[in-house]
Structure 1
Amino acid sequence: MDVLSADVGISCIHAFTTLRSQGSSDAPFNSLNFGDHVGDDPLAVTSNREALRRALPGQAATRWLRQVHGTDVAAAHAISEGEVPVADAVWTDQPGLALAVMTADCLPIVLAGVRGDWVAVVHAGWRGLAAGIVEAAFEAVPGNPTETRAWFGPAIGACCFEVGSEVRQIFLKRFGVVAAASFKSTKNPDKYLADLAGLAACRLRALGIAAVSDSGHCTVCESDRFFSHRRDGTTGRMATVAMILPK
Structure 2
Amino acid sequence: MRTHKVFIVLTFIAAWEVVAVLVNSRFLPSPLLVGATFWGLLSSGALLQHAAVSLARVMAGFLLAIAVGLPLGVLMGWSPKMENFSVIIEMLRPIPPLAWIPLAMLWFGIGFQSKAFIIFIGALFPILSNALLGVRETEPYLVEAGKVLGASDSQILQTIILPNSFPSILEGLRIGLGIAWMCLVAAELTGLKTPLGLGYLIMEARDLGRADTVMAGMIAIGVIGYVMNIALKWMENRLVRWKP
Please give the TM-score of this superposition, normalised by the length of structure 1: 0.26
Please identify the structure whose Cα radius of gyration is greater: 2
Please give the TM-score of this superposition, normalised by the length of structure 2: 0.27
Structure showing the higher strand proportion among its residues: 1
